[in-house]
Structure 1
Amino acid sequence: MLIFPLLDDQSRKIIHIDMDAFFAAVEERDNPALRGKPVVIARDPRVTGGRGVVSTANYEARRFGIHSAMSAKEAYERCPQAIFIQGDYAKYKAIGLEVREIFRRYTDLIEPMSIDEAYLDVTENKIGSQSAVKVARLIQEDIWRELQLTCSAGISYNKFLAKLASDFQKPRGLTVIKPGEALDFLAPLPIEKFHGVGKKSAERLRQMGVETGADLLEVSEIELIDRFGRFGYDLYRRARGIHNAPVKPNRIRKSFGKEKTYGKFLRQEADVRKELQGLAQQLATNLEREDVQGKTVVLKIRWEDFQTLTKRVSLDRSVFQEADLLEQALALYESIEEKDKAIRLLGITLTNLGKEREEDLLDNPEEKETADHEAL
């Protein structure tokens, strides 16, 4: 049996920049009276009757356990004194583009992951520096001086490690993982901290006795692939600090989606409708954040026996609002003839995307209100 060595490209210098509590930070910058108070970017649940999803929260609010994608109702229950602000996504996008222009002073190899984070390849950069740390510090200083906002930076030889590093010390952090340091950094890391490992994957890994990076290192590649498919192949390499994907400046996202797996299966139609409403709400918030729309809505259902069904509808107009997404998802659900099995997973995805929302579809300005967040 031939054994091939693992390829580990350590020649690159990658920076991951992540703005600190971006939307909330913008609001605090523009209204200094908010500083030091818990701020939640979401529609006020006292006004909406409990509807709405948290887009982000500042660090004061996070001390109460408030986080992105949490319902606004739960955020209020955790912190009744929180200040709820409906997001101004056009403003956030404009500032996000200003941040991106700062990146371009240093490199053209920029891969935006969302409005407030991006990977930068600075192996060769516009200031001719051999130090990625110097470039990252200059970017942090430029963003603060020009926009009065802070960001955290992670620096390493690949995107996976750079992303982990930027999360390590927030806010205003700068963390470096050098070649030769990856295994020591990853070994004590809880498995759910590995970028790309979601709640369900973490649960399955824990069932295998994997709690940390050190535990993951002990699992064979064959077993990981057997249990996780292609993702197992990636997990085996990430446990060793290997991730050779280059920064892709022209990365184009082809879809946006939200899905949820249920430990307690859905058996009642009323429960399915309620869950679809929540998914539509969260997806609408993501679309609002990224200022995109699409013409094809996809419903995904995984039954209790693991059989998966996807149904889609393509429209002659673009949609991006919660009401439209929910209407189409419910219509697809109602078109299913055989619904005698319990549901373990639901998902709504929007594809056939356009870069900008069609503002003229909004007859009522208040319909622009939505309020939430997704992994590599």
Structure 2
Amino acid sequence: MSIVCTIFLFLLTASSAFASAFPKPAPVTHWSTSETSNSTTASCSATGNPIDDCWRCDKKWKSNRKSLADCAVGFGRDSVGGRAGDFYTVTDSGDEDPLNPSPGTLRYAATQDQPLWIIFDRDMVITLKEDIQVTSYKTIDGRGNNVQIAYGPCLALYQVSNVIIHNIYIHHCVPAKRSLGGYSDGDGISIFESRDVWIDHCTLEKCHDGLIDAVGGSTDITISNNYMLNHNEVMLLGHSDEFVGDRDMRVSIAFNYFGEGLVQRMPRCRHGFFHIVNNIYREWEMYAIGGSANPTIFSQGNVFIASDNQFTKEVTKRESVDGDDEWKEWNWKSEGDEMLNGAFFTPSGNEDSPSYTKMSSMVARPASLLKTTHPSVGVLSCQIDQPC
């Protein structure tokens, strides 16, 4: 069936009643073009989501694909992807020879030296033999088709910049040996020593390692409008406690839906600056937001709905060798978040620290507005000549 990720939130007075009334998105199991999509077919109006309001009401989105590059917000807002390049249409879902990829394949397009805006000529499931190491100035744009990368290694960004990944369903990613040596970890999207990256309106689930990991001094990243589900360690942001190169990492996590079957790391942060804004979290199994090595975390305008398990109500988790005396100095702040069904956020550090001003990457909407709007997340089923 189509991935229908439209989320209806109703304004109720009791938080427990609101939590039980909040519908879960349909599980992602298969696709069918005959079922209802989350395209807007009759009318389109502003939602308050600045990314979607920038482009989704354009009935000519297919002709104006590159206007998407003007719509990013947050720390990854300067990513232009392949805007300056030609369009490249993927016509072949195969991956027979990773060292000498065939023209027409995703690997061939994504590893070219020049900027490219990569689109697809039809629905396809791409099963890779090894991960694709996407080069700089690329956009991978799945709008208008059901494009899945699944059942093999998936995507890697290694020492690159200006990459946009949009409207791709990434799932069941596994580790594999690389032709030139080494192994991939089995991440959905792995980001290493890269910057100016934007991941938007993707659906990710059931990968071997992380759904999205960013390490090795990567920075200026926006992760937005994604639907994540059915996974243990969701996002790792920061290589290790000892790797101080991640002190300059800046990541915005905005308008995502952290759904059913997620356990932990939404995200797990080290060292850098993390603006977590206007996301919806539902029933994490261990914790939602965690970290070590003194990251600065600003949680703003999110909705946290805890499960009924009394032992998993806390949103936050710290890992500190020296215990409370150390982490109590870390700047972790919750501002305007809604805590439902007993959820709670443990703040620390200086609530008025100038670091929060430094890391405010975008304007947060009040969490209460999430009850009266109908945000959509994950892969969109865009129809030609209709608002997406």
TM-score (norm 1): 0.27
Higher helix share: 1
The structure having more radius of gyration, on CA atoms, is: 1
Higher strand share: 2
